[in-house]
Amino acid sequence: MLAPLAGITDLPFRTLVSRFGAGLVVSEMIASGEFLTARPGTREKAELGAQIENTSVQIAGREPDAMAEAARMVADMGARLIDINMGCPAKKVTGGWSGSALMQVPDHALRLIEAVVNAVDLPVTLKTRLGWNDEARNAPDLARRAEGAGVRMVVIHGRTRCQFYKGSADWAAIRDVRDAVDIPVVANGDIIDADTARLALKQSGADGVMIGRGAQGAPWVLAQVAADLYGAPPPDIPKGDDLISMVSEHYESMLDFYGPTLGNRVARKHLGWYMDHVQTPPELRTALLTERDTTKVLRLIPEALSAQAQAVA
């Protein structure tokens, strides 16, 4: 499964990952309050791709009524699955008592979960961390209560909120959640390839894995893990001209989605990750990532990726 990553798992990237093969892709987080007041740009994130079969739309918030209404609106847009975010560690999210901050107030967190589950006929899932800090690792209890409220699956990032992304994910600690519930449990955090996925599954006892940062610059990695672990058809990993064609198409899809100016800015991080895989010379990398003319970017992509394109393997 592809993890929700703000500013990364937009529709163009989810579409690309799905093309290679993915069990589930999760949208960027939709803040329920902003979504309901239709702040420019927020509504479009949910509208575009919500109805795609293997897509889950993630919502976040702190008020039960707003979360319920956002869930209903997403369902009306054709969503097949709704995920509740109680794992985001960002200060701008937790400062408003959303995301992982809700793990500090489990009774209120449960009210939000119940509001969403009761608002829609769709399957509802939950994503959390192990807890707010090491002294309050309450993910097993919250998962158990969420299951009782009707949540159909939980995803656990193997860190506390106070760890942010420091240190290593504690996959073994996820086993306490696996033992607490009967619904599927998915392990998340530091899973980047088949070896780490296999180890995470062994230590956690989880039913599946969710990959986030490991897919940056490698949209085929989910399919590769599925092939290595479960015997799914292996992806055709692009090299040489095929890699150049894939990256160029991804870039153009971002221009179409966001418009030329914003699309070019958003694309830079993806182009940087692609170049990380092929060891693009520094001066060429800088030229590509600072160019504002989209036609020139498209001309630079083949040069930047052909320097050592075969290194992608």
Query: Across residues 234-251, what is the average pLDDT?
Result: 96
| Alpha helices (runs of H) in 102-193, residue ranges in sequence order | 106-119, 139-149, 175-180
- Top CATH class, 11-230: alpha beta
pLDDT at 118 exceeding the cut of 50:
yes
Which sequence spans correspond to the domains of the chain? 11-230, 240-312
Token reading at 24: 């589930």
Which residues carry out catalysis?
Answer: 88
Task: Name the region of 15 (left: φ>0; alpha: ψ -120 to 50; beta: rest).
Answer: alpha
Q: Is 14 annotated as a binding residue?
A: no
Comparing CA positions, the residue from 65, 4, 7 lying closest to residue 41 is 7
Comparing CA positions, the residue from 38, 16, 49, 101 lying closest to residue 28 is: 49
Other C-beta atoms lying within 10 Å of the C-beta of residue 188 = 27
Is residue 312 very low, low, confident or very high in pLDDT (cuts 50, 70, 90)? very low
Average pLDDT, the chain: 91
At residue 130 the predicted structure's pLDDT band, cuts being 50, 70 and 90, is very high
The reported pLDDT for the residue numbered 44 is 56
Q: State pLDDT tens for residues 269-304.
A: 999 999 998 889 999 999 999 999 999 999 999 999
Report whether 130 contacts 137 (CB < 8 A). yes
Check if the beta carbon of residue 39 is closer than 8 Å to that of residue 62. no
161 is in an annotated binding site: no
C-alpha atoms less than 13 angstroms from C-alpha of 196 in its C-beta half-sphere: 19
Query: Is 108 assigned a ligand-binding role in the annotation?
Result: no
> Looking at residue 45, what is its pLDDT?
52
